[in-house]
Chain A
């Protein structure tokens, strides 16, 4: 113990001893209450307590607080200690404030004043205490109050190094808590960057953290740090460990500073300047070389420090993703680590390799280690290491090794730790679908999955199996066959019953000719499981029975008996009862043709992002700070989601009431709110300029936020539109696993046909990629498709959803005609359902040319010489769909006095006029 001075607060030590000697919780509470009473009396009675006593009592209060008791007094005495001119008293005062006081105390102004006094003091120790306090509890008010004092301390020439270190991190705290209130003068930028060059390595170490945060806010402004960071790094890694005595840690020169510098550089793409770039590559090379040198010490501290730098260097190499030789070397190094005795190293190597597997340069190199990784899966004792092995297998999987990897994962699943089974099930399901060459193989795997890990098969997984089967008619009879076989097992997981039940209901007829699976056998087999299942599953099975009525009229009576049975017809479960009643009635009253229509096989599901990927991303509970504003670029992995949606969400089909359509469609709703999308990271803000983009123009920006800009260009010929989408990465990081989907749901499925080529998986920083495709109009439509974009940005999964702005007018072809013709046609469309009229106020100045241009932009003609009133607009167009042509005519009459328009549209198809008016009414 350090030498006790006279003021070492003997009373505190005695009190702590007393507490420790208490035999029971009650005794401890009594002792604490006695002490609290004593302190309260002292504070109340004796206004002349000296600094030492005040310090002692405040410190006792602090100790009591740390034991978990509320402290509701003594705040004033603590604040008084701040103005003491003795270090020990001041320190306790600041400590009390930092630990106990929350931001909403009324003494805030007093505290700020005391901090200000200390910041302006000549005593560096006092300045430091004040800075450390701000770094601990700094908030918006403090950011405003010290917006000048602290930066000045940081860059002033005569500040002591220790003060600079604190000032840098103090600024970082203020920057994080209230980025807007902290205004850093741009003249300081260069001087802040130059702290990287500071002679004192401690100053540089603290400053990198600040600069890293500032870079994330304004990368261009701080670009100068790249050069300085590279040269500082270079000086450290090429030096001998003896050069940095104070900063050498177990023979490794300044490991923490190196790590921070390497992380700083990951904010930027590889340096443009060839000399800086080659210097950086040399550094990385040197670090990789050093990893091969014999260890200078047997102590684990030595290898840990060295490898800390190495792993960060590898992160940077992966981030730059351009030097294939470095990537492959990194991969080989990690491969060695996979065999290391240290569990930590094996774990970290697996983790890093996961990232390497996503780079095209090193994907193949990673695959060489497949055997070792599979061994890790089997032999590692730490479940988190096995988890990493699973992650890596998932990441390295491609068409060439999918069968092996899926098989290994499946084998491991049987003995896997319970905590990771559900995730493994998802991964197996995703991989076997993604890389299925033969869908029979996929089905075998999936049924095996349900058999061995049924409890961990989430709804999404078995829904997906159904979707795949429904959409691929080449596997339907095989599916029916193996589903039937799976049901024959004596003990059968309920999820298996669901899948098999569903499949037999749809495709049982495909195996019915086989004497081993005649309709009656199928039915009996399924029914043997019925009573073991939950009500939800029974409902599904009832639907299957109903489908059987249609497929196999010969067993209709068996099924009617079941439906009539009290346990169904009078079931206490409302849903079962309803189904039994309705199905029974349906089977009695409908003719076979009506039944066949009602119970037709499921149409294919629209292809969209597999819901399994979504499920995989769902995370654990979050740790959220209270009230504090987190920086937008904070290094958390919380996914960011953006919803822009002006179309009402379609009701989940499963919730529709009518029985005719709700035969348990395993349609998972396309909208999901991931619980992890929280306030930890602010969602990237998005700019939506107008509700209807791309309406009056042939090219437009349809989405933009801080990371990405999406542009569109389209050209229509009759019912087909060729479109080009441009995705621009505005950020400093590459976007990986990029995927973009346009999804039609509900009626739209039959109204639009999408045919988009796949996008590239990666968009480099500041680069743009193009996606072409066609969208055909099958029928007139009113809803908008959904656009759903997912990608990884700086290892953070991102998701953007918005309505894809394609409107009916895109399929209008301009038509010209003379006045007679126009009015002739106008009169022909006189039914009330063909016309729609609306009067609306002007949103823009009422200028003739602008209106003319907008109407032409909408797609139809704007004809002159039709209307006697030359102020009015008339025109015509034909909407082309693949099935029909819809003629439309319009008249737009401005009333400049009233600042109103009257728009009348007539169209040959009912409802279309109304839709067109809706599109145009807010455009003038």
Chain B
């Protein structure tokens, strides 16, 4: 199960935080800082997985942004690694070459994208075509 999804830039600014567990606000802040400290020190030769408390982080870096998914230790690493990429491709398509600023200015839309693809800590929909079709429908609505 996914415990949370974080998108952070290299400086540690959070661009998306989606929590699938109930945390106190201060705990959230602590988790955000710990994850940032954990992933930014790793280089390209390292794995995309890192143990984190009693869970693990599966992450991938895209330009200046780190996409991190925190999952249970016995979850499938590669499946979540590609779930990140699938999500990024959808964002890229939806925002036409997504960049960090899109995520800032359209933060409320990013949440919609997340809800289409991940719900209750599980993978909900994996077809990019289906997700994008739904998102287009939603965008056309008032």
Question: Which residues of chain B come closer than 8 Å to A662, judged between CB atoms?
Answer: none
Please tell me if the beta carbons of B76 and A311 are within 8 angstroms of each other in the complex. Answer: yes
Tell yes or no: B37 within 8 A of A by CB: no
Q: How far is the CB of B90 from chain A (nearest CB, A)?
A: 12
Tell yes or no: A371 within 8 A of B by CB: no
Question: Which residues of chain A come closer than 8 Å to B45, judged between CB atoms?
Answer: 343, 381-382
Please tell me if the beta carbons of A680 and B54 are within 8 angstroms of each other in the complex. Answer: yes
Tell yes or no: B62 within 8 A of A by CB: no
Alpha-carbon distance between A626 and B26 when the two chains are bound, in angstroms: 11
Question: Which residues of chain A come closer than 8 Å to B65, judged between CB atoms?
Answer: none
Enumerate B67-88 residues with CB–CB distance to A below 8 Å.
Answer: 70, 72-79, 81-83, 85-86
Question: Which residues of chain A come closer than 8 Å to B27, judged between CB atoms?
Answer: 626
Task: Considering the complex, give the chain A residue whose CB is closest to the CB of B21.
Answer: A625
Enumerate B18-74 residues with CB–CB distance to A below 8 Å.
Answer: 21-24, 27, 29, 31, 42, 45-55, 70, 72-74
Alpha-carbon distance between A308 and B81 when the two chains are bound, in angstroms: 9
Q: How far is the CB of B112 from chain A (nearest CB, A)?
A: 7
Q: How far is the CB of B133 from chain A (nearest CB, A)?
A: 10
Please tell me if the beta carbons of B120 and A169 are within 8 angstroms of each other in the complex. Answer: yes
Please tell me if the beta carbons of A344 and B122 are within 8 angstroms of each other in the complex. Answer: no
In this complex, how many residues of chain B approach chain A with their Cβ under 8 Å: the count is 68
Alpha-carbon distance between A506 and B51 when the two chains are bound, in angstroms: 44
Please tell me if the beta carbons of B104 and A20 are within 8 angstroms of each other in the complex. Answer: yes
Question: Which residues of chain B come closer than 8 Å to A201, judged between CB atoms?
Answer: 127
Alpha-carbon distance between A623 and B20 when the two chains are bound, in angstroms: 13
Please tell me if the beta carbons of A87 and B141 are within 8 angstroms of each other in the complex. Answer: yes
A219-247 toward B: CB 8 Å interface, digit per residue (1/0)?
00000000000000000000000000111
Question: Which residues of chain B come closer than 8 Å to A304, judged between CB atoms?
Answer: 78, 81-82
The residue among B23, B46, B50 with the most chain A CB atoms within 10 A of its own CB is B46
Question: Which residues of chain B come closer than 8 Å to A620, judged between CB atoms?
Answer: 51, 53-54
Task: Considering the complex, give the chain B residue whose CB is closest to the CB of A348.
Answer: B77
* Selected A-B contacts with CB under 8 Å, 5 pairs: A86-B141, A205-B125, A247-B126, A308-B82, A623-B54
Question: Which residues of chain A come closer than 8 Å to B72, judged between CB atoms?
Answer: 634-637
Please tell me if the beta carbons of A344 and B129 are within 8 angstroms of each other in the complex. Answer: no
Q: How far is the CB of A206 from chain B (nearest CB, A)?
A: 5
Question: Which residues of chain A come closer than 8 Å to B17, judged between CB atoms?
Answer: 66
- Tell me whether chain A's interface is mostly helix, strand or loop, or mixed: helix
Q: Given A169-B120, A249-B126, A347-B47, A103 and B22 touching (CB < 8 A)?
A: yes
Alpha-carbon distance between A623 and B30 when the two chains are bound, in angstroms: 11
Q: How far is the CB of A14 from chain B (nearest CB, A)?
A: 10
Task: Considering the complex, give the chain B residue whose CB is closest to the CB of A138.
Answer: B120
Alpha-carbon distance between A382 and B106 when the two chains are bound, in angstroms: 36
Please tell me if the beta carbons of A305 and B126 are within 8 angstroms of each other in the complex. Answer: no
19 additional contacts (CB under 8 A) given A635-B75, A676-B54: A1-B105, A2-B95, A16-B105, A95-B111, A125-B141, A136-B115, A165-B124, A170-B119, A202-B126, A206-B119, A209-B120, A246-B128, A247-B127, A256-B126, A308-B82, A623-B53, A623-B70, A628-B21, A635-B1
In the A-B complex, list the 9 residue pairs whose CB atoms are closest, starting with the nearest: A308-B78, A625-B21, A209-B122, A87-B141, A246-B127, A173-B120, A169-B120, A308-B79, A169-B119
Task: Considering the complex, give the chain A residue whose CB is closest to the CB of B127.
Answer: A246
Tell yes or no: A312 within 8 A of B by CB: yes
Alpha-carbon distance between A206 and B125 when the two chains are bound, in angstroms: 7
Q: Given A1-B102, A626-B27, A344 and B47 touching (CB < 8 A)?
A: yes
Question: Which residues of chain A come closer than 8 Å to B122, judged between CB atoms?
Answer: 169, 172, 206, 209
Alpha-carbon distance between A15 and B139 when the two chains are bound, in angstroms: 22
B98-142 toward A: CB 8 Å interface, digit per residue (1/0)?
000010111111011001000111111111111000100111011
Q: How far is the CB of B115 from chain A (nearest CB, A)?
A: 5
**Which B residues lie at the A interface, using CB under 8 A?**
1, 3, 14, 17, 21-24, 27, 29, 31, 42, 45-55, 70, 72-79, 81-83, 85-86, 94-96, 102, 104-109, 111-112, 115, 119-130, 134, 137-139, 141-142
Alpha-carbon distance between A572 and B118 when the two chains are bound, in angstroms: 63
Please tell me if the beta carbons of A91 and B108 are within 8 angstroms of each other in the complex. Answer: yes
Question: Which residues of chain A come closer than 8 Å to B3, judged between CB atoms?
Answer: 623
Alpha-carbon distance between A839 and B43 when the two chains are bound, in angstroms: 76
The residue among A1, A135, A165, A623 with the most chain B CB atoms within 10 A of its own CB is A623
Question: Which residues of chain B come closer than 8 Å to A263, judged between CB atoms?
Answer: 76
The residue among B104, B125, B138 with the most chain A CB atoms within 10 A of its own CB is B125
Q: Given A169-B119, A256-B126, A636-B72, A125 and B46 touching (CB < 8 A)?
A: no
Q: How far is the CB of A47 from chain B (nearest CB, A)?
A: 23
The residue among B27, B82, B86 with the most chain A CB atoms within 10 A of its own CB is B82
Tell yes or no: A63 within 8 A of B by CB: yes
Q: Given A103-B22, A173-B120, A247-B127, A344 and B141 touching (CB < 8 A)?
A: no
Q: How far is the CB of A455 from chain B (nearest CB, A)?
A: 23
Task: Considering the complex, give the chain A residue whose CB is closest to the CB of B16.
Answer: A66
The residue among A59, A98, A206, A311 with the most chain B CB atoms within 10 A of its own CB is A206
Question: Which residues of chain B come closer than 8 Å to A68, judged between CB atoms?
Answer: 29
Question: Which residues of chain B come closer than 8 Å to A301, judged between CB atoms?
Answer: 82, 85
Question: Which residues of chain A come closer than 8 Å to B128, judged between CB atoms?
Answer: 246
Please tell me if the beta carbons of A636 and B124 are within 8 angstroms of each other in the complex. Answer: no
Task: Considering the complex, give the chain A residue whose CB is closest to the CB of B94.
Answer: A2
Q: How far is the CB of B72 from chain A (nearest CB, A)?
A: 5
Question: Which residues of chain B come closer than 8 Å to A676, judged between CB atoms?
Answer: 54
Please tell me if the beta carbons of B139 and A2 are within 8 angstroms of each other in the complex. Answer: yes
Question: Which residues of chain B come closer than 8 Å to A176, judged between CB atoms?
Answer: 120
Task: Considering the complex, give the chain B residue whose CB is closest to the CB of A302.
Answer: B82
Enumerate A625-657 residues with CB–CB distance to B below 8 Å.
Answer: 625-628, 634-638
Please tell me if the beta carbons of B74 and A311 are within 8 angstroms of each other in the complex. Answer: no
The residue among B48, B77, B95 with the most chain A CB atoms within 10 A of its own CB is B77
Alpha-carbon distance between A249 and B125 when the two chains are bound, in angstroms: 12
Tell yes or no: A905 within 8 A of B by CB: no
Alpha-carbon distance between A344 and B56 when the two chains are bound, in angstroms: 14
Q: Given A92-B108, A344-B47, A259 and B79 touching (CB < 8 A)?
A: yes
Contact for B96 among A2, A62, A245, A381, CB less than 8 A: A2
Question: Which residues of chain A come closer than 8 Å to B82, judged between CB atoms?
Answer: 249, 255-256, 301, 304-305, 308
Q: How far is the CB of A854 from chain B (nearest CB, A)?
A: 49
Question: Which residues of chain A come closer than 8 Å to B54, judged between CB atoms?
Answer: 619-620, 622-623, 636-638, 676, 680
A351-389 toward B: CB 8 Å interface, digit per residue (1/0)?
000000000000000000000000000000110110000
Q: How far is the CB of B42 from chain A (nearest CB, A)?
A: 8
Question: Which residues of chain B come closer than 8 Å to A257, judged between CB atoms?
Answer: 126
Question: Which residues of chain B come closer than 8 Å to A59, judged between CB atoms?
Answer: 108
